[in-house]
Amino acid sequence: MPLARLLLPATCCLLVGSCSHLSRNARNSTEQRPQATDLLTGAGNLGMGLFRGTAVSAIRQPVTTATLGVSVLWHRPREIVSANVSVPLKLALTPPPEEKPGTMAFEKLLDESNIPKAKSGKLTWLVDGKRFFPDLDREIAAARNSVDLQVYIFDNDDIAVRYADKLKERSKDVEVRVMFDDMGSSFAQTSPPETPAPKGFTPPANMPLYLRSGSELEVRRTLNPWLVADHSKLILVDNRVAYIGGMNIGREYYNEWHDLMIRIEGPIVADFQRDYNRTWRKAGPFGDFGLLRPPRFTQRVPPVGDGAPIRILRTDPAEGRYEILKATLMGIRAAQKRIWIQNPYVAHDDITMAIEEAARRGVDVRMILPARGDSTIMDVANIDVARRLIEAGGKVYNYPLMTHMKVMICDDWACVGSANLDTLSMRINRELNIAFRDPGEVQELIDKVFLPDFRISPRRKLSQTQSPIAPIAEAIADQL
């Protein structure tokens, strides 16, 4: 515990920089401060969250806490060595794989690398809140048996309250379970949105209490031992429809930020449901010991028309799973035609160096970054990443506002979900992505995300990437 107390303040500062989605513009607006939890209440919520993430998690989740402690203490210093020694040497000595992403040969390579096998599912692309939330509304209203929701942030703004009320109402008729990250939500609730809430709106001071009040709804927090977060987003309705992607429950995602959720139907939904049930048991009062109980029975989900093979990828250091990083690097290093990326936080040296190397060997490398992000240090770090990529022959585009998308296409293979291209998402936090090679779905991603965003995003010039502090910020961002 003494070591944990020493590490908490420093690590907390790092976490705020990349995960808490604190909006600089919103913080500077005194008119909007009443829309967020007041400072005293927010500090109390954060303090209780830190207590739950240390003392409570050590009791409930001793195995997870010990495993995550080793993971954090190993991966943070490893990133420093990786940037200066191991990755450049590995890239210099190891030729790119011959298997082209999008081919059966590449799928076989993924299988041989212990990436989870593909199962059938049908994808529907829901770009921005204006498409995702109406679809979610219809599914919540039509639910016959269950609604299961897990997000990193369940905010306490007017949009979050609206969805809390919907879920509370449905809990009278169907089983409703809600999970959210303890620390991520507490941080978010102290930060007001950029756009105003209805006049007179007062945010609830305690969102779990608000969700439980007058309802049959069950709520659990995912705890934060060593300040490690569960950054996953997974919503399930009736073990029939699953949603994954980048969106949380709050105003930023409803109408302020550019983001993506993917609606998934078909047999693979049963795997998502089993994953949710396992996370739910672990977040309960028995913690790690809850996993010893027999899992809830999950019915098979019948195939749907136009299904495609889809792989579920995880970052989960407590279970030794780093499939997102492994598959991402394999896709980038094997790409021969194109690497198109849209992501707000690009700060993992293994990935950035592999991208630069791809650009040097003639791959069409394009990266869309936010012109104005939600984290100053990550914005400055992105400048250094952009400079190095442009110098290597790649193209960098400035999305006009905040883009929170996490999407990548390597040749004819795609990887999308909740994971940023940073150390937290690749090595430390829990994340959920999918990967697929279906030509129709890859083309849908191109048509609905990349081509529209290329059109409205000015190309960044090399002269726009000159900043004396960018390399320093990038070194700090390596720890985020």
**What are the tens digits of pLDDT across the range 424-472?**
999 999 999 999 999 999 999 999 999 999 999 999 999 888 876 766 6
Q: Quick one: pLDDT at residue 290?
A: 93
**What are the tens digits of pLDDT across the range 110-156?**
999 999 999 999 999 999 999 999 999 999 999 999 999 999 999 99
Picking from 231, 236, 244, 243, the residue whose alpha carbon sits closest to that of residue 298 is 236
**Domain 86-118+310-477 homologous superfamily, CATH:** Endonuclease Chain A (3.30.870.10)
Beta carbons within 8 Å of 209's beta carbon, 6+ residues apart: none
Tracing tokens 């039509």 back to the chain, one arrives at 142
Q: What's phi and psi for 412, nearest 5 deg?
A: -120, 35
Name the pLDDT band for 474 (thresholds 50, 70, 90): low
**What are the tens digits of pLDDT across the range 375-417?**
777 888 888 899 999 999 999 999 999 999 999 999 999 999 9
Q: For residues 401 and 370, is the Cβ–Cβ distance under 8 A?
A: yes
Name the pLDDT band for 4 (thresholds 50, 70, 90): very low
Q: Quick one: pLDDT at residue 441?
A: 97
Distance CA 182, CA 203 (A): 17
- Provide the mean pLDDT of the chain: 88
Q: Quick one: pLDDT at residue 392?
A: 96
Strand spans (E) along 293-428: 308-316, 321-322, 338-342, 364-370, 395-399, 407-410, 413-417
Other Cβ atoms closer than 10 A to 285: 9
Tracing tokens 């939500």 back to the chain, one arrives at 185
Tracing tokens 């991520």 back to the chain, one arrives at 184
**What are the tens digits of pLDDT across the range 229-287?**
999 999 999 999 999 999 999 999 999 999 999 999 999 999 999 999 999 999 999 99
- Percentage, residues of the chain above pLDDT 70: 87
Q: What's phi and psi for 18, nearest 5 deg?
A: -120, -15
Beta carbons within 8 Å of 444's beta carbon, 6+ residues apart: 123, 125
Run of H or E residues at 262: strand 260-265
Whether the predicted pLDDT of 1 surpasses 50: no
